[in-house]
Amino acid sequence: QLQLVESGGGLVQPGGSLRLSCAASGFTLDNYAIGWFHQAPGKAREGVSCISSSGGDTLYADSVKGRFTISRDNAKNTVYLQMNSLKPEDTGVYYCAADWGHYCPGFVPFEYDSWGQGTQVTVSS
């Protein structure tokens, strides 16, 4: 059974940093593009970033460009999201999702096959 587990969320002050991890079990991530999504309270899930299966291509939402960095370590079967200069509007649950194939399918949730349970990020002073 394909399973993704996010970790690394928490409470951070504005301007702070967090690194989220998305670990896979039951399958290897080598053949999957991975996306990160953000769901703010009371709002729809929105795409934040995506990385191709090889790690050679990345995609970012305009709201996080220059602040967030996605990366992957296929040897560790893990994808990371480094979040810097965090803002209160970054608060919410962050989900990772896997799509079989090389290229990022973009930020349309139904394009992804498997989802993690999410990790809470709260940016507040």
Three-state secondary structure call for residue 61: coil
* Whole-number Å distance between alpha carbons of 35 and 104: 8
- Band (26; pLDDT cuts 50, 70, 90): confident
Closest to 26 (Cα-Cα) out of 114, 117, 93, 102: 114
Q: DSSP label at 1?
A: -
Give pLDDT tens digits for 67-122.
999 999 999 999 999 999 999 999 999 999 999 988 999 999 999 999 999 999 99
